[in-house]
Amino acid sequence: MFEPDEELIGRVVRQLRRPVTVDAGLDARVMEQIGRLPARRTGGPVRATWRWIIRPRTIRLSPLGALAIAAVFVAVVLWRPDRPSRPASARAFGFVVVAPRAATVSLVGDFNDWDAARTPMQRTRKDESVWTAVIPLTPGRYRYAFLVDGVAWLADPAAPAARDDEFGAPSSVVTVGGS
């Protein structure tokens, strides 16, 4: 059994009752330590996911893996279904039409998105009834027509006619070769 020692207890009590002097910088040090602790996780799975996304991390990658990722990246940047496999060089093509009483003539076709405002034709100096336009064309086959005074469609009499003309206004075709 243990017999309580009155004298010992008295010394402990006196020791505990002594005033304690606290260092003046303690508060500041404690708050600094608290500030270093990670914040409490609040905000649900969305914030948690966001924190996971933005948290910096080190990824180890083999040179082969890095090359594979770079190859995929380059392939996606370069690949387009409509893009020709090789960049084609453009050649200047001249279009001429005789329209004596026209005030304006536009060259409209597959090469300018059928936009009548994009390629206005110019009168020649020698003969004001002759209208011309020169545009660069890459190899391919293009449908086009002349739009006179913004209302009348005219096919090119010097070029093959487009056979599959479903819109009730004539078109012509020009084919640009590569060799």
Residue from 45, 63, 81, 100 binding other proteins (CB under 8 A) = 81
Amino acid at 146: F
Residue 130 is a binding residue for other proteins (CB under 8 A): no
Buried/exposed 28-63: b ≥16 CB within 10 Å, e otherwise: eeeeeeeeeeeeeeeeeeeeeeeeeeeeeeeeeeee
Lay out the site mask for other proteins across 48-67 (x = CB under 8 A, - = otherwise).
-----x-----x--------
For residue 142, which amino acid is it? Y
- Stretch binding other proteins (CB under 8 A), from 9-17, 92-100, 127-135, 167-175: 167-175
Residue 140 engages other proteins in binding (rule: CB under 8 A): yes
Binding of residue 84 to other proteins (CB under 8 A): yes
* 74 contributes a contact to other proteins by CB under 8 A: no
Answer for which of 77, 92, 101, 125 binds other proteins (CB under 8 A) is 77
Among 27, 32, 115, 127, binds other proteins (CB under 8 A): 115
Query: b/e per residue, 146-158, with b = 16+ CB within 10 A?
Result: bbbeeeeebbbee
Q: Does the footprint of other proteins cover residue 143 (CB under 8 A)? A: yes
> Binding of other proteins at residue 45 (CB under 8 A)?
no
Interface with other proteins, residue 23, by CB under 8 A: no
Site residues, other proteins (CB under 8 A): 53, 59, 69, 72-73, 76-77, 80-85, 108, 110, 113-116, 139-141, 143, 153, 160-161, 163-164, 166-169, 171, 173, 175, 177-179
